């Protein structure tokens, strides 16, 4: 009996001790990313301050060392803990040849936290500035030794990547987490919801399944949200998203997010639980769309890459990008005479918003760089509609609307309309292809095609522009904020359009002083009824040729096969496209003039 009791007590002791797991909490004020270096010295030091409120939470636990986040390699690093910067160290250790990034350096002898405030940090020497920091604000997170004097540089809005390594029983360590940041300077339209993104880090010794956040607007509590279905371990940094209810007034508002519970218990330390940001609420936020006009050619072997770049840009910026491919092949039906002013000595080359040249856009990187630099903001909202005029196949009523968020006494603007066609497959276009065989890398499948290919029909093809530099007198000289300004124009479509059900109308708003496209909009032209890829298959009117003119029973228009309308007189020998309108019906036919 005595033997069985001893075995039972031994098992119980083993079971109890097995539950006592040591955890090391890396407590600090920084993110896990090093955004840059602080200062310009190749030999200095940095520290963070642990206030008494935090030290009391960890009283009796072991301070094992310091996590030193270096922005560059260092030949020597000394970590320390002290109650007075520049005074006697409570613990320290020195390590040689320390690499950039996070380095966990343990003290030669650990220090038992007594509940008083203290500092942890490191000094270093080397050939480069290695004092790593991140772009966060913390009153206690940026103490730097410059010129032999320790000073608090919290006003620089930088936080050093330094953390205290605190060890203890997982059952005894406090349940703590910190909110690190909240998206700053967001804009939202009045009456619309807004989602803000922030970051937090867990100092809890256990895995956490949920937490709660209190949202306050301008100091007034709005609601508490619970974020669940997570599994966050100790020292793990993660993001959170909160959706704000619609704002009811225009202006700058302060949003604060406070962590109230981490897991099922209250958070242990309130001092790192709140983050704030400002939100700018506007009456209207126009959608900014950037226009890329690319000069391309069937005889250009690099041009498939330009087409792929345009495809990728539409995928990356579906709401903010408009592409127009301008073909320089004069002898084909892809050529648009009204776009002749947009021509260069070589292809492919592009212009973004008419102001920024993007050379050889065979990848998206250059254009994306420009778009990111310019931003996605505008002070004018642009919409467009286009529809085939009833009873015709070759006339489009275009309606463009602009709405400025500020009144202008001098509105130096003009409208232009462009018409593009997608998936042009009325004939086999032979595209030269330098990517064939893969010798120049992959290019969205073009590497699998031959040196000349018809595998991918041209798209976003410029058919016409009205007018290239904007229509004179198309915009008023002054505008009032939030009052829409409308412009209507009936456009005569060129004769080289393959299918009027695949047309898009693009409204371009030009600044007449800078020549820049300040905003634009694209929409599908509605009302298209049939393909006219082969005009000889349409109804055949009574047509004759006499004395260099074409005669027909009805109102007629004459076009070259490239889509340029010409005067019906003194026609040179060649093939023309004739459109005849009679009794509300439109008929087309190719006519040979000898």
* H helices present in 445-495, as ranges: none
> What CATH number labels 177-282?
2.60.40.10
What is d(CA 114, CA 27) in angstroms, rounded to the nearest whole number? 16
What is d(CA 298, CA 524) in angstroms, rounded to the nearest whole number? 25
**DSSP letter, residue 32:** S
**What is the location of CATH 2.60.120 in the chain?**
22-169
- Taking only the tens place, the pLDDT of each residue in 482-531 is 999 999 999 999 988 888 889 999 999 999 999 999 999 999 999 876 43
Topology classification of domain 22-169: Jelly Rolls (2.60.120)
Specify the pLDDT at position 59. Answer: 97
Topology classification of domain 290-524: Immunoglobulin-like (2.60.40)
What is d(CA 185, CA 383) in angstroms, rounded to the nearest whole number? 27
Q: Is residue 429 a contact partner of residue 447, using CB atoms and an 8 Å limit? A: no
Q: Which residues of the chain have pLDDT under 50?
A: 1-2, 5-18, 530-538
- Taking only the tens place, the pLDDT of each residue in 213-254 is 999 999 999 999 999 999 999 999 999 999 999 999 999 999
Global confidence as pTM: 0.69
Q: Is residue 461 a contact partner of residue 497, using CB atoms and an 8 Å limit? A: no
The strand pair at 62-70 and 162-169 is best described as antiparallel
What is d(CA 273, CA 505) in angstroms, rounded to the nearest whole number? 52
Task: Determine the 3-state secondary structure of 9 from DSSP.
Answer: helix
**What is the location of CATH 2.60.40.10 in the chain?**
177-282, 290-524
Task: Determine the 3-state secondary structure of 25 from DSSP.
Answer: strand
Specify the pLDDT at position 454. Answer: 74
Specify the pLDDT at position 17. Answer: 43
- Taking only the tens place, the pLDDT of each residue in 160-183 is 999 999 999 999 999 999 999 999
């Amino acid at each position: 009996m005595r033997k069985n009791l001893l075995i039972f007590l031994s098992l119980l002791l083993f079971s109890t001790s097995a539950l006592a797991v040591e955890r090391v909490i890396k407590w600090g004020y920084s993110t896990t990313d090093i955004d840059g270096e602080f200062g310009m010295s190749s030999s200095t030091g940095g520290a963070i301050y642990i206030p008494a409120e935090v030290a009391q939470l960890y009283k009796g636990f072991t301070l094992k060392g310091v996590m030193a986040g270096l922005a560059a390699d260092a030949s020597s690093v000394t970590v320390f803990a002290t109650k007075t910067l520049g005074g006697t160290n409570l613990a320290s250790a020195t390590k040689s040849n320390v690499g950039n990034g996070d380095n966990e350096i343990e003290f030669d002898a650990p220090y038992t936290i007594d509940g008083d405030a203290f500092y942890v940090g490191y000094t270093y020497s080397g050939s480069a500035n290695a004092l790593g920091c991140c772009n966060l604000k913390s009153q206690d997170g940026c103490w730097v030794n410059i010129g032999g004097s320790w000073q608090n540089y919290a006003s620089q809005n930088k936080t050093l990547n330094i953390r205290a390594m605190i060890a203890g029983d997982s059952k005894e360590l406090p349940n703590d987490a910190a909110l690190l940041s909240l998206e700053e300077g967001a804009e939202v339209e009045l009456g619309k919801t807004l989602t803000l993104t922030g970051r937090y880090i867990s100092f809890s010794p256990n895995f956490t399944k949920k937490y709660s956040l209190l949202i306050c607007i301008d100091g007034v509590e709005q609601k508490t949200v619970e974020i669940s279905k997570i599994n966050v371990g100790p020292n793990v940094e993660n993001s959170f998203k909160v959706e704000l209810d619609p704002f009811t007034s225009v202006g700058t508002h302060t949003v604060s997010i406070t962590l109230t519970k981490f897991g099922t218990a209250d958070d242990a330390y309130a001092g790192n639980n709140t983050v704030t940001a400002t939100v700018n609420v506007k009456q209207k936020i126009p959608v900014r769309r950037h226009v890329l006009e690319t000069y391309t050619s069937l005889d250009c072997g690099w041009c498939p890459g330009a087409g792929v770049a345009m495809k990728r840009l539409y995928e990356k910026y579906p709401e903010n990008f408009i592409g127009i491919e301008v073909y320089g092949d004069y002898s084909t039906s892809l050529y648009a005479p009204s776009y002749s002013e947009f021509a260069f000595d070589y292809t492919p080359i592009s212009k973004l918003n008419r102001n920024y040249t993007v050379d050889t856009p065979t990848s998206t990187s250059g254009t994306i760089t420009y778009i990111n630099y310019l931003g996605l903001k505008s002070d004018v909202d642009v919409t467009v509609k286009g529809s085939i005029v009833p009873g015709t196949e070759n006339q489009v009523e275009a309606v463009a609307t602009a709405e400025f968020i500020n009144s202008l006494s001098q509105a130096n603007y003009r409208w232009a309309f462009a018409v593009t066609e997608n998936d042009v497959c009325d004939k086999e276009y032979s595209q030269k292809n330098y990517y064939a065989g893969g010798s120049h890398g992959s290019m969205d499948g073009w590497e699998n095609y031959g040196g000349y290919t018809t595998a991918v029909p041209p798209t976003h093809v410029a058919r016409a522009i009205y007018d290239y530099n904007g229509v004179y007198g198309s915009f008023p000289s002054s505008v009032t904020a939030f009052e829409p300004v409308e412009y209507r124009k009936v456009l005569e479509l060129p004769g080289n359009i393959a299918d009027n059900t695949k047309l898009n109308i693009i409204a371009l708003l030009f600044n007449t002083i800078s020549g820049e496209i300040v905003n634009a909009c694209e929409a599908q032209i509605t009302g298209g009824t049939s393909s006219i890829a082969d005009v000889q298959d349409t109804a055949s009117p009574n047509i004759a040729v006499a004395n260099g003119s074409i005669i027909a029973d009805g109102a007629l228009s004459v076009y070259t096969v490239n889509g340029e309308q010409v005067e019906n007189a003194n026609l040179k020998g060649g093939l023309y496209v004739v459109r005849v309108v009679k009794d509300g019906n439109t008929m087309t036919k190719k006519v040979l003039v000898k």
